[in-house]
Structure 1
Amino acid sequence: MLCLAAATSLPLQTAWIGAAQAQETVPQKGPQTIQDTEIEALLKDYTRPILKAAGLAQQNVEVVLISSRAFNAFVADGRRIFVNTGALVDSVTPNQIIGVLAHETGHIAGGHLARMREQIAGAQTMAIVAMLLAAGGVAAGAASGMNGRDVGNVGAAAVSAPQEMIRRSLLSYQRGEESAADRSAVKYLNATGQSAKGMLETFERFQNDQLFISQRVDPYVLSHPMARERIGALEQLAKSSPYYEVKDPPALQARHDMMRAKLIGFMERPEAVARRYPPSDTSMAAQYARAISAYRFGNVESSIRQIDALIAKEPSNPYFLELKGQALLEAGRAGEAIAPLRKAVQMTNGAPLIRAMLGQALVQSGNQANTQEAIRELIQATQRDPNSPSAWRSLALAYGRSGDTANADLASAQSYFASGDFKLGRELAARARMKFPQGSPGWLKADDLVNFKPPASAANQR
């Protein structure tokens, strides 16, 4: 795993991908991922020119959000960039997070992951050879008449010394790849007419964080160069660019401010939101954060009034309508949520997360007349985003209300597969298969699920 994070000598944890809306938690191993249409649209706009400059425009690279307050981003494969929500909240300007995304793009374009795997494979071979040599040395020591304690001490030193050398060699290689990704990032920013100042500001943040440890840490056991070294290596290159003083467009800055406000409103306690966005702050971002916080902590009527005020100011903003629908739906007022969610779906060209929420509202409204519309909306939502457990569960409920038990069981099976519970998913798929005519599309899909073989790592979760 290659990342932008501040230098660390600790192992990095691999991310497990699961589907979750901003307000939905799915039990899983590793970090929790979240989905949000507004934030994902903004990050796509950030990455699109960078990926084009890197020659990756056709690779379908996506940005995945990790629910973590730490400032970090990383790549674990060649098609996904993982970004912590903490990095988005702490990045004051679009340029700062664009620099982060450019750095991670440098890892993908440079093939660093594949080469790192080769380095690790080579290191494993070296480790095996070192252990065999160490074992031979211990045996020779015993044969020469050394006492047990001396043989043990020599053996421990013989085993640990080569392993430490191998570890340092790998870390040195990784530091080199991080520096290469920094240089690539500046290249992509220049190619897109953007400043590298945001990158330097990020490294200055890391440098401030490292001040208290920099005198006590061995730089040769770190996975990344020290921040002061990264600043020194890039400062001249960044400042020599004709785009160094280029500012982010005001409209893009406004979208960035709204993204940060949204995350803060969802992730922080009301008192923390109030400190960041006091009543005296009348900006749209501040109103957005306070409205979200009000709905999250039970003051639904106040939240709806605040959201309606936002809609009055920007009636073409679909995410205000989405928020209103979400607040009403979670307050048990599903029937009232349908109208704003329908409009938000239209404005976003059928964004699957919003469409799934509309389907859920139609199901929970209790109006049988809404059942077929719910099925249509949820089928389209799951076709575009098949990894949402909640959308599949709502579809199962809608099919159940229409009396279609075969498709209800099949949708339930899909919901468990999306959650990672393959055992129960296969059981429900087997039950659904028995209800479909053999060879029909539903039967074939159920049969595929019954015979699905999950990866060993995923199968071990259950």
Structure 2
Amino acid sequence: MIGSSRTASRLVGRWACAVATAALVAAVAAPASAQSTIRDTEVEGIIREWTDPVFSAMGLEPSEIQVLLVNDGDLNAFATGNRVIGVNTGLILRTENPNQLLGVLAHEAGHVKNRHVLRQGAQSAAMQPFLMTMALGALAIAAGQPGAGAALLGSGQFFGTVNALRYLQGQEGEADITAQRGLEAAGESGRGLVEFFENFRSQEVFSDARRYPYFRSHPLSGQRIEALRRPVEAASHYGQADSPERLAQHALIRAKIHAFMDAPNTTLRAYGSSDTSFPARYARAIAWYRDGQTQKALDATDALIAEQPADPYLYELKGQILFEEGRPAEAIAAHSESVRLKPDAPLLRINLAHALIETNDPARLDEAVDQLKRAVAREDDNTLAWRLLSQAYASQGKEGEARLASAEYYFAAGGQAEATQFALRARDMLPAGSNEWRRAMDIVLASGATMDDIEDLDRRQEQRRDRPTVIPPPVA
């Protein structure tokens, strides 16, 4: 986990670590502008294990779908036009079983499948004026001016918004049916999605007694639930139950989110010592670590490792505890074991590299660079990896490579001007025609540099040809 530390501010910087690709920042700015996204290999892996077969059954390529965990306690999920699905931690914690969470994610994938790219625009253009109109109308009536309230609620803006809501409701119904069909094709039940909707049916804004006639004849959720229930109950996999393994995974996800997001005392009360389940003991270990009870956290983690020695995420937690305690050299062994057990996980390699760098031992820098290069080969938009790689190269005196890594950092984060600046500097220092030189040129061109910029750089490169190289050759 790129995980939590003991204070809220450091928590945002580690477990609640914002994903930073330029395209992604643009994609999620509207629905999640005030939140951060969580990166955790274990939780991400479980969710992808559940969802990828459903995505495939829908005719979607799983590798093209990005699922984000959003650090927000509100009940919400969203899909964007460029195949990004987001789900709030608050929604995950309100699901009662894995099938409910899978159903919600399948519904969002239904929006992606049906190319509901106007969904966000419709919400901003129609829903917000509607809510404002309703609020003003309610205030006018409460202030003793029912005529003013009726005028507002009967305005063209209000009824124009009703039409937009019908359009949105149509999209929601399409996504429901697409989700149901995808779940059925993947051998999963759609019952969880119906259950989840039923659990929050009472959240409709108005009761029947207060609802305007239009809403009485066009129920916002009841009609939708019934339209979904019929095909779900008729499907051959309706009775498919969550496996014990999947139930345990769901309990672990919930425990881990609580442990990293809630105050330690809250977690320790929720997962008291009488609860000896694996998720509860995992949550307590994390809570003790965040509460500064380091030895207690390490002892608890070691006990879990003794029971499940092939679990890479327990070694990850142990490494994180030691690293956050200012003991990076001791953290290396735990992080190395997590990488050995899960070599395809970029975040685990980044953890190991970070510990290697923080030892301030020059002899460890080559391994740190190797781990980071392997990480960015799988996640080329991981800004933390690029920042650490720049730091490692700079410590080795490799100024050209360090500047190229900084350019990659800004390019991934959407800072085109800074990316261009660092890429130009890198190109000036790297051997002409090398792979690194070509990559610097790619960033320069992609970031909008002009030919004048490049020609000026070439003139300076010519002037530097007879100068000593940045890195002295090794002594013979």
Task: Give the TM interval when normalised to the shorter protein.
Answer: 0.7 to 0.9
Post-superposition shift, 1:26? 7.4
Q: 1:238 to 1:26 in 2, by over 3 A?
A: closer
Task: Indicate yes or no: 2:347 matched with 1:353.
Answer: yes
User: For residue 22 of structure 1, what is the aligned residue in structure 2?
Assistant: 15
Query: In the aligned structure 2, how far is the partner of 1:176 from the partner of 1:218?
Result: 20
> Aligned partners of 1:418 and 1:221: how far apart in 2?
46
Q: Is the 8 A contact 1:203 1:228 kept in 2?
A: no
**Number of the residue aligned with 1:62:** 66
Give the 3-state SS of the residue equivalent to 1:113 in structure 2.
coil
Residue from 147, 156, 168 that aligns with 1:174: 168
Q: Map of 1:22-421 to 2, 5 A cutoff?
A: 22-24=15-17, 30=33, 31-57=35-61, 60-113=64-117, 163-210=157-204, 216=210, 226-421=220-415
- Aligned counterpart for 2:418 among listed residues 424, 448, 452: 424
State the distance in 2 between where 1:23 and 1:59 align. 23
Tell me, which stretches of 5 or more residues in structure 2 are unaligned?
Answer: 1-11, 127-150, 449-476
Q: Where in structure 1 do 4 or more consecutive aligned residues deviate above 4 Å?
A: 25-29, 116-120, 160-165, 211-222
Distance 1:240 1:83 in 2: 28
Query: Residue in 1 aligned with 2:463?
Result: none
1-side partners of 2:176 and 2:279: how far apart?
31
Using a 3 Å threshold, how does the CA distance of structure 1 residues 225 and 328 change in structure 2: closer, same or farther?
farther
Go from structure 1 to structure 2 and tell me whether the alpha carbon gap of 1:448 and 1:52 turns closer, same or farther (over 3 Å shift). Answer: closer
CA 1:277–1:443 in structure 2 vs 1: closer, same or farther (change >3 Å)? Answer: same
RMSD between aligned residues: 3.1
Q: Secondary structure at the match of 2:197?
A: helix
**Which stretch shifts more, 333-342 or 76-85?**
76-85
Between the aligned partners of 1:381 and 1:445, the Cα distance in structure 2 is: 17
What is the Cα deviation at residue 445 of structure 1?
Answer: 2.1
Name the structure 1 match of 2:141. none
Give distance in 2, aligned partners of 1:296 and 1:118. Answer: 40
Give the letter for the 1:69 counterpart. G
1:255-286 Cα offsets, whole Å, 9 max, x none, are 11111111111111112212321111111000
**Superposition deviation, residue 404 in structure 1:** 0.8
Aligned-partner Cα distance in 1 for 2:78–2:219: 15
In structure 1, C-alpha distance between the alignment counterparts of 2:83 and 2:63, rounded to whole Å: 7
Partner SS, residue 63 of structure 1: strand
Deviation at 1:161, TM superposition (A): 5.4
Query: How many pairs align?
Result: 400
Query: Judging changes above 3 Å, is the alpha-carbon distance between structure 1 residues 23 and 56 closer, same or farther for their aligned structure 2 residues?
Result: closer
Q: Which position in structure 2 is the counterpart of 1:137?
A: none
Q: 1:413 to 1:210 in 2, by over 3 A?
A: same
**Residues 235-265 of structure 1, C-alpha deviations (whole Å, 9 max, x = no match):** 3333333433321111111111111111111
Structure 1 runs not aligned, ≥5 long? 1-18, 125-156, 455-462
Q: Distance in 1 between matches of 2:213 and 2:240?
A: 34
Contact 1:382 1:388 in 2 (8 A): yes
| Distance (whole Å) between structure 2 residues aligned to residue 373 and residue 445 of structure 1 | 22
Take 1:85 and 1:328, find their aligned partners in 2: how far apart are those partners? 27
Is this contact kept in 2: 1:206–1:227, CA < 8 A?
no
Cα deviation, 1:308-331, whole Å, max 9, x if unaligned, reads 111111111111111111121122
Q: TM-score scaled by structure 1?
A: 0.78
State percent identity of aligned pairs. Answer: 38
